[in-house]
Amino acid sequence: MRNIHALAIIVATLATAQGFACRRASLPTFGRIRRNDSTANRRPATCLAESTLPTEKRLVDSSGDAQEMGPELELGNPICIYKTLTIHPSGMAEGEQPRQAVSVEDLTNSIREFIQSTTMKSGFVNVISRHTTTAITINERESRLARDVEDFFLKICPPDERSSSPKSVKGTRYHHNDIDRRPDSPEEAQRCRENGWDIDDPERLEAWRAQEPINAHSHLIGMMLGSSESIPVVEGEMVIGQWQSVLMVDLDGPRVRTVGVQLMGYQ
């Protein structure tokens, strides 16, 4: 029975691949299309290789069962748009200084409004953090869960004893927080210069060190959570669950942050 299931999966996969290969020439490209192109009068590309799929449009999943597919979706012209979102922390007082707080900001409505402001109907929205101490994830937006997130990750990566965080742990030290030993290589020194810090000047070097936060734990938590998410868009709406939200987790706040959002798909 397993051999039959495996054979069915292979046949379905090959048929689908062949169908997409046959239709490849009719897919619109992201380049310039001349008006006198011989392909201009072809009907729009579709999401299914219907020429090779069974008429009832079924796919065989890993269990060997046939799964009904949705209706064929015709695609319009390609579209690719980028926008930078500026995120002001909720509850942040004017002039408030960062205290290495962990907070969760909901980006869902801002991203949804961006999608609705365009003509994209089908594709993907890619969301990326533009900071090394913020992360992007998809989960439930709930205030008590946000507190659990902070408690959980600070147990794994507690703040340095030299940190300004009220949850710093005595005896905890990270190499990244040895500010007096940084930059630690010619490459790191060059990155400082590229970011506007003339560290060859002793005064500027000390000024750079003075503004560097003791935040190694924030970087480490950010690596665990990840910096980006890619979300399908169908009929102009993100495909996320009822209780799911696109979240930015600030691990070294509160600060005004930015998030990059790119739409890629078809009108």
Whether residue 228 sits in one domain with residue 103: yes
pLDDT tens string 218-256: 999 999 999 999 999 999 999 999 999 999 999 999 899
Q: What is the DSSP string of 48-72?
A: S-TTTS-TT-EEE-TTS-EEE----
Which domain-ending residue is among 75, 104, 133? 75
Which domain-ending residue is among 33, 57, 75? 75
Whether residue 237 sits in one domain with residue 166: yes
Residue 123 pairs in a beta bridge with: 233, 265
**C-alpha to C-alpha distance for 254 and 102, rounded to whole angstroms:** 8
In Å, what is the CA distance from 68 to each residue of 11, 55, 59, 63, 186? 17, 11, 7, 14, 59
Q: Is residue 182 domain-resident?
A: no
Q: 């992201």: which residue's tokens?
A: 30
* Average pLDDT value over all residues in the chain: 82
Q: Is residue 207 domain-resident?
A: no
Whether residue 70 sits in one domain with residue 111: no
Whether residue 132 sits in one domain with residue 84: yes
Q: Which residue has the higher pLDDT, 46 or 179?
A: 179
Whether residue 20 sits in one domain with residue 61: yes
Whether residue 237 sits in one domain with residue 158: yes
Helical spans, DSSP H, in 96-252: 108-116, 143-156, 186-194, 202-211, 216-225
Q: 């060997």: which residue's tokens?
A: 64
Q: With bands split at pLDDT 50, 70 and 90, how would you rate the model's confidence at 26?
A: very low
Cα–Cα–Cα angle for 192, 164, 150, nearest 5°?
Answer: 100
Whether residue 71 sits in one domain with residue 32: yes
Whether residue 162 sits in one domain with residue 113: yes
Q: Is residue 40 domain-resident?
A: yes
Q: Is residue 188 domain-resident?
A: no
Q: Among 57-61, 73-77, 126-130, 196-200, name the one with the lowest average pLDDT.
A: 57-61
Whether residue 227 sits in one domain with residue 118: yes
The CATH code of the domain that includes 220 is: 2.60.120.460
**What domain count does the chain have?**
2
Whether residue 68 sits in one domain with residue 108: no
Sequence-distant (6+) residues with CB within 8 A of 39 are 25, 26
**C-alpha to C-alpha distance for 60 and 34, rounded to whole angstroms:** 40
Is the confidence at residue 43, as pLDDT, over 70?
no
**What's phi and psi for 119, nearest 5 deg?**
-105, 15
pLDDT at 100: 86
Q: Which residues span the domain enclosing 167? A: 79-174+215-266
pLDDT at 48: 42
Q: Is residue 85 domain-resident?
A: yes
pLDDT tens string 84-138: 999 998 877 777 777 888 999 999 999 999 999 999 999 999 999 999 999 999 9
Residue 246 pairs in a beta bridge with: 138
**C-alpha to C-alpha distance for 250 and 97, rounded to whole angstroms:** 14
Q: Which residue has the higher pLDDT, 120 or 60?
A: 120
**C-alpha to C-alpha distance for 121 and 136, rounded to whole angstroms:** 24
Whether residue 129 sits in one domain with residue 53: no
